[in-house]
Every structure is written in C-alpha cells, then in structure tokens.
Chains A and B, each alone.
Chain A
Amino acid sequence: MKAATWTGVNEVSVEDVPEPTLLNDRDVILKISQSVTCGSDLHLIGGYIPFMRAGDVMGHEFIGEVVEVGKEVRDRKVGDRVVVAPFAACGSCWYCKQELYSLCDNGNPNPGITEGLWGQSPGGCFGYSHAMGGCAGSHAEFMRVPYADVGTFVVPEGVSDTRALFASDAASTGWMGADLAGTEPGDVVAVWGAGGVGQMAARAAMLLGAEQVVVIDRVPERLAQVRDNVGAEAVDYTTTDVIAELRERTGGRGPDVCLEAVGMEAHAPGAPGIYDQVKQQLRLQTDRPTAVREAIMACRKGGTVFTLGVFAAMVDKFPLGAAMNKGLTLRGAQVHAQRYIPELLERMRRDELVTEHLATHVMPLTDAPEGYRLFKEKEDGCVRAVFLP
C-alpha cells in the first residue's frame, strides 16, 4: 500500500509499504478515508524530536472505515465509519479511568525513552516517533488501531468525513484546553495561534460561555478564518502590542484564561525571536517558548495558562516569577481525545461546531510531500492539508 513516511529532516516521501495486520486481540484495521497534517508533525519533520526512524509512517489525525476486527473487540464491526483518538489508550489503567487518556500507562511500548526525558512516560501516539510508542501513523491506505473499543468512535449520520476528521485532534485538543483551563461564562479568553487547534480552542471557549475570545497570530488567512468561520476576534501580533491590547480590552485585568496553541517552534519578531532561534540551534534550549512567555505575562492575576502546543524538553527565560507571584495556574496536556470526541461529534451533528474550513488543501496521499511543504511554509493560505489515500 501507499504511505507517507518520514525519511529524514525536512524529507517526506510516499513509499510502498506492507499492509498492517492485527497484532493484538483488541485491534481493528481501518481503511483510511482522510488523514490530515498537524502542526505537531512539523516538529518531527524539522528534526526537533529525534526519535523518528527513516521510513516511519506519519499521521495521527484521521477517519476511516473498519475493515477487520480482533477477536476481543466488542463494540466495533466491519463497515463502521469511525474517527480515532491520536493516543492509544487501554481504558483500564488508573489514568484512563480518570479520563486522562493521553497519560495511559499501557499505551506506550517504549516507556524507557520518555521516562528518561520526563521522569514518567505518557501514552503512545500514532505516527509520532518511537519515543511516543512507535505505532505506525495514518497517512496510509490502511492502519492498525489498538484498543479499538476505547479509541474509535462511530461518526453519526449527517456529519461529513471532513468535519468529523477534526474531532480526532484539532477540535478535541482545543476543547480540552478550554475545558481543563476552567473556562466559565463571562470569561475573557485569549488564544495564541490561529491554526486548527487554536481556532477550535476559541470556538470551544465561545460555546462554554466566554464573553470575549481573542485569537493572536500573524497569518492573514488564518486571522480571517478566526473572524469569519469561528466568530472570535483576531489580533495580528506583527502590528499590535499583544499584552497592551489585551490589557486594554479587559479593563486592565488581562484574560482570565490563556490558551497557548503554538508549541516549540514559536515565531517571534525582532531580537527575542533571534535569541530563541540561536539558543535552539545551539542546543542550549530545545524549544522556543515565545507564546507561553507572553501568555504568562498577559494573564490576569489568579488566571490559568494552558499549553496545547507540543513541547519536547527545556526552555530558557521562563517567567516563573510572574507565574508564582500572580498566582497563576499552569497546565498542559497531550490530547485526552477519548474524553471529548463523543460530545464533539454530537455538536458537529447539530452544526454548532463546524470544521470544514480548516481543510484548505485536500489532495491525494501521493501529494503528501507537497502538502507538508505548503503547510510548513503556510503558503497559498494553507491551514491544514488533508490527504485522501
């Protein structure tokens, strides 16, 4: 079968690879209908997460049809149209029982790598390096999904593939941030990053009752989507002093909730951006935390900052003093998608949550290298590239 694979730093190739097989009794095999690029893939492509092996199949946000089921699968059958959580979670460990699915104790067969890096191992993510379990990704014609009863969700009639596709990660990640940050009616919520996750975080905050939602980015097409498709306010940080703007919009308080949806390759203009780039390239820090720093400084006293963007290890010049003295709550997580997908699919069915506009570039899987190039360079208004195997 055809699959899009990581073949080296800044190299994605489409190759012929063997078809997957059932490996565990709780597995299903899916025929992938759509699989989409995610901003976190760019960290793999850029070589910032050095646990990819040449030939690894990428992709973790996808929808497909069940074509084969393991003998212990109870709730899925051949022919089901399902959207799938990016993290393989067993559903049986203490973390899964707390609905912290991306922390599953049993979903990562390579715990020794991440325990060394982080002290404990999170769960395993499809197509996201051997540090995160090494399970093959979804940019392929077929894919094996373990723990299928826990991680796959039947898509309701009337919800299109392209809409449901984003329940997998972008919408569930955004919703998780707004929810776990404690967004309440009347809150002011600021979101850094107007990609798929940032837009969905903004929409989630609105649906949870936020009074004002402001999204910060620099890409005109994305800021336009924030205004036109999400219904939130948009701020261009290249032409606006973000912290001053947020202070002015909030009566001097700052946002109640700050959601960071940028991650470890944040762009920053001027000297601060150069400083972070140099330190990252010299391996004196692994991640560029520009947006997190700004969120901490902007957040109101006693507010919450939630990091949705992916970070790998260490950052420099982290304003811990501001976080402590302002009494902030800092949180972050990989997506606990299993917790949110059922509700998101229902909201999609009711047209409360619309995502099709994120799929700016829909193309055959064989065009995946070009899709990633457009996505990485943000060319031609690319917000997400969707691959059709």
Chain B
Amino acid sequence: MELPAIVSRAGGALLSTLQHVRLPGVGQASVTDDPTTAAHRWRAVTVLKAPDQVGSSASPPPPLDRLGDRVEVRISAAPGDKGTELAARFLGTPTDDEIGELRAALREAKQRLETGEVLRVDPQPHGFRKPTPQGAALEGMTDQADKEGVL
C-alpha cells in the first residue's frame, strides 16, 4: 500500500477514535461502555414522518432492509410530535465495519424518507489538491464520515 493510502486510512481510523475519546470538552456519551456493550446498543434516528410511513420491524425502510436478519429493528412514535424513532441493533457481535454500515443505512433511510433523495457532494469543483499528509488524512476522514459519529 502506498504512503498516501496509508495516511488516508489512518485519517479514517483517527475519526473513529475521536468518537470514543473523552477529554474535558470532547467526547461522547457511550465512551464508558466496554466495546461489546457499545456494539450492541440500539442506534437510532428520528424521522419526521408518521410510523406507518417509515415502515415496520418486519419491513424496514431501504437501505436498512439490506441488513436483513443481522439486525433487530424497532419503529415507534417519537414524543412531542417529533415523528418516528427508527432504531436498529445487531443480533450478533458486529465488526466496526458493520456498525459503520448500520450508521450509514440509518442516515440514508432518514434522508430518503424526509427529502426523497440522498444529498451528494461529489464530484464537485476543486482546485489542485496538494499531496500533503494532512490532506490525505482528511480524505480518509471524509470517506468514513457517513459511517462514523455518535450514532
């Protein structure tokens, strides 16, 4: 593997690590979980649609449906007229990549339901990309950004 690819991969890993760091002022809520507990948590988005428009546990909205029987899905009304909570968790013990796949699927399902499309940003205009380590790391982060986060 060439150096830029290694640095890019390191950037993605750094973003993953960032989600699990607790420093004063930085960090997120599940950091005190051990990895197994964290991996089995429900991951959820709230969709501004009625529950019957979102789907059902047996028939979750795309692309969440692609995860099939690897995940358990829960669909329930959100309090305060905030729509519907669409949640899923793995039945077995997932890998980090599988958790990333679930995060991305939940986000995409929400976008499709609320807006009818998935917002794209590439390709778009940009100038010369200097081949710097920082730039390669940032590209790694953006490649992983839909699969990471606190979701």
* Same complex: yes
CB distance from B146 to the nearest CB of A (A): 7
Verify B149–A314 contact, CB threshold 8 A.
Answer: no
Is B32's beta carbon under 8 Å from chain A? no
Verify B148–A116 contact, CB threshold 8 A.
Answer: yes
Q: How far is the CA of A57 from the CA of B15 in the complex (A)?
A: 23
Q: Tell me whether A134 and B25 are in contact in the complex, defined as CB-CB below 8 angstroms, given that A106-B119, A115-B149 are known contacts.
A: no
Q: How far is the CA of A138 from the CA of B145 in the complex (A)?
A: 24
Q: Tell me whether A117 and B125 are in contact in the complex, defined as CB-CB below 8 angstroms, given that A8-B130, A106-B119 are known contacts.
A: no
Verify B117–A115 contact, CB threshold 8 A.
Answer: no
Return the contact of A105 from the options B114, B122, B132, B150 (Cβ within 8 A): B114
Q: How far is the CA of A134 from the CA of B145 in the complex (A)?
A: 11
Contacts of A321 in B (CB 8 A): none
Q: How far is the CA of A72 from the CA of B119 in the complex (A)?
A: 13
Is A274's beta carbon under 8 Å from chain B? no
Verify A90–B115 contact, CB threshold 8 A.
Answer: yes
Is B43's beta carbon under 8 Å from chain A? no
CB distance from B42 to the nearest CB of A (A): 16
Q: Tell me whether A90 and B15 are in contact in the complex, defined as CB-CB below 8 angstroms, given that A24-B119, A57-B125 are known contacts.
A: no
Interface mask (B120-151 → A, CB under 8 Å = 1, otherwise 0): 11111111111010110011011011111111
Closest Cβ neighbor of A23 among chain B residues? B120
Verify A51–B18 contact, CB threshold 8 A.
Answer: no
Verify A112–B148 contact, CB threshold 8 A.
Answer: yes
Q: How far is the CA of A112 from the CA of B151 in the complex (A)?
A: 9
Q: Tell me whether A113 and B141 are in contact in the complex, defined as CB-CB below 8 angstroms, given that A107-B119, A146-B119, A313-B25 are known contacts.
A: yes
Contacts of B129 in A (CB 8 A): 53-55
Verify A116–B18 contact, CB threshold 8 A.
Answer: yes
Is B93's beta carbon under 8 Å from chain A? no
Interface residues of A in 69-127 (CB under 8 A from B): 72, 88, 90, 92-94, 97, 105-107, 109-113, 115-117, 119-121, 124
Return the contact of A55 from the options B29, B114, B127, B144 (Cβ within 8 A): B127
Is A151's beta carbon under 8 Å from chain B? no
Is A17's beta carbon under 8 Å from chain B? yes
Contacts of B151 in A (CB 8 A): 111, 115
Verify B126–A53 contact, CB threshold 8 A.
Answer: yes
Q: Tell me whether A112 and B125 are in contact in the complex, defined as CB-CB below 8 angstroms, given that A119-B28, A130-B138, A146-B119 are known contacts.
A: no
Is B116's beta carbon under 8 Å from chain A? yes
CB distance from A45 to the nearest CB of B (A): 15
CB distance from B119 to the nearest CB of A (A): 5
Verify A55–B107 contact, CB threshold 8 A.
Answer: no
Return the contact of B134 from the options A23, A50, A105 (Cβ within 8 A): A50
Verify A110–B146 contact, CB threshold 8 A.
Answer: yes
Verify A7–B130 contact, CB threshold 8 A.
Answer: yes
Return the contact of A15 from the options B28, B115, B127 (Cβ within 8 A): B127
Verify A94–B46 contact, CB threshold 8 A.
Answer: yes
Residue of B25, B139, B149 with most partner-chain A CB within 10 A: B149
Closest Cβ neighbor of A26 among chain B residues? B117
Verify A111–B28 contact, CB threshold 8 A.
Answer: no
- Listed by A's residue number, 11 A-B pairs whose Cβ atoms lie within 8 Å are A19-B125, A23-B124, A54-B127, A55-B127, A55-B128, A88-B119, A115-B19, A116-B150, A119-B29, A133-B121, A314-B25
Given A23-B124, A53-B126, 11 more contacts at CB 8 Å? A5-B126, A57-B127, A72-B116, A93-B114, A107-B119, A112-B145, A112-B149, A113-B145, A119-B28, A130-B141, A313-B25
Which B positions have Cβ atoms within 8 angstroms of A?
A: 15, 18-19, 24-26, 28-29, 45-46, 48, 82-83, 103, 107, 110-111, 114-130, 132, 134-135, 138-139, 141-142, 144-151
